[in-house]
Amino acid sequence: MTGHQTRPANVPANVPANVFVLDVDGVLTDPGSGAVNPEVIQAVAADLKAGIPVAFNTGRSTEWLEDRIFPLLWDLSPDEFGRLLAVCEKGAVVSSFPNGRLQTYVDRALTPPDDFRAWVKALLDHDQGGWKLSDSMFWDGTKLTMISIERRPGVALQEYHEAQAVLDSLLERMIDKHKLTDFKVDATVIATDVEHKLAGKHRGAEAVLRWLGHHDIHPQAFTAIGDSPSDAAMAETLAQAGPTTFVYVGNPDSYAPDPQAGFKTVITGGGNAADTAKYLAA
């Protein structure tokens, strides 16, 4: 990412040329294998070492990032790690690293009722019109505020998406039955989430802007990278604070840019994390 960080010599250090805000699944990782792209991690580390903040804005949990992503950055100093922000569960959980130590805030107001969570967890093991959903998906027990049902590793995406359609229909009906009007179903490439309507990538981007402001950091520009149409919401929010580019690395056929959007859009070839690495290295 350092190739995008040209800054005139007279610009103060608290005005980085470009701050990157990255989705995780399909941006840092391959959507099929789930493997983390090492070139993307190297680019993130290079910015942090250069004194430039980087933020993750993801539906994943902090615990998942602790297992899969953060260990790849442990060679950073505490000060360097402190420049990383991880906004998880679509803005409901915010993790920062003052002095290199993990500190997490959880917005419990965005959590579905316990009885509804229990019902969703139980339905996976019951026959649903010929589908046993647990054959292709599993309950993500690491989430603190949202419900996530994720594709099992090794299950083909087409097989998963067929079962996912059954799950999504069930969830929509049960949300109506339980009158959970503040919650919605959000299906992504590898998971289905039940989340509060106030949650989303826009809320994550708002948390990024608050964090930057708290540290008196005022970027000249932002770049948001995502692989789902919903990721454009973070670019829309960031654009309110400065010039913003949205880099879409997912399936090009799944995203139609809004010509009225207040940000620039770059659509790659749908190579996901490989495309992220190429863009950051350019």
Identify the burial level of 131 via C-beta atoms within 10 angstroms of its C-beta, where 0-12 means exposed, 13-18 middle and 19 or more buried. middle
Q: Which two tokens stand for residue 164?
A: 């996912």
User: From CA 282, how far away is CA 269, in angstroms rounded?
Assistant: 15
Measured between alpha carbons, how far is residue 238 from residues 7, 48, 185, 224, 228 in Å? 20, 20, 24, 8, 17
CB 51 within 8 A of CB 76: no
What mean pLDDT comes out for the span 126-133?
A: 75
The pLDDT-based confidence of 1 (bands split at 50, 70, 90) is low
- Please give the share of the chain, as a percent, with pLDDT higher than 90: 83
Whether the CB-CB separation of 92 and 110 falls below 8 Å is answered with: yes
As a whole number, mean pLDDT of residues 74-101 equals 95
- How many Cβ atoms sit within 10 Å of the Cβ of residue 216? 9
Cα–Cα distance, 4 to 255 (Å, whole number)? 25
> What would the mean pLDDT of 9-30 be, rounded to a whole number?
83
* Token couple for 70: 């953060």
The per-residue pLDDT for 32 is 77
Say if residue 99 is exposed, middle or buried (CB neighbours under 10 Å; 0-12, 13-18, 19+). Answer: exposed
Task: Provide the 3-class DSSP secondary structure of residue 88.
Answer: strand
User: Do 266 and 245 touch, CB atoms closer than 8 A?
Assistant: yes
Query: Crossing angle for the helix pair 273-281 and 38-49, nearest 10 degrees?
Result: 40
Which letter does DSSP use for residue 112 in this model?
Answer: P
Length of the chain measured in residues: 282
Residues 6+ apart with CB under 8 A from 245: 221, 222, 223, 224, 235, 263, 264, 265, 266
Mean pLDDT of 176-200: 93
> Residue 233's pLDDT is what?
97
What token pair was written down for 106?
A: 């959880």
Query: What is residue 188's predicted lDDT score, i.e. its pLDDT?
Result: 83
Q: Judge whether residue 132 has pLDDT over 90.
A: no
Give the pLDDT of residue 181: 96
- Report the candidate in 242, 211, 203, 205 with the shortest Cα–Cα distance to residue 225: 205
**Per-residue pLDDT averaged across 70-76, rounded?**
95
What confidence tier does 31 reach under pLDDT thresholds 50, 70, 90? confident
Task: Kindly list the distances between the CA atom of residue 139 and the CA atoms of 119, 150, 267, in Å, as whole numbers in the listed order.
Answer: 12, 6, 32
Q: What amino acid occupies position 4?
A: H
Q: What is the pLDDT of residue 13?
A: 63
Q: Residues 190, 60: contact at Cβ < 8 Å?
A: no
At residue 87, the pLDDT reads 98
- The domain locations on the chain are 14-107+199-281, 109-196
Q: How many CB atoms lie within 10 A of CB 271?
A: 16
- 254 to each of 4, 78, 269, how far by Cα in Å? 27, 40, 12
**Residue 95 C-alpha from the chain's centroid:** 13
Task: Tell me the one-letter amino acid at 91.
Answer: G
Q: Which class in CATH covers the domain with range 14-107+199-281?
A: alpha beta
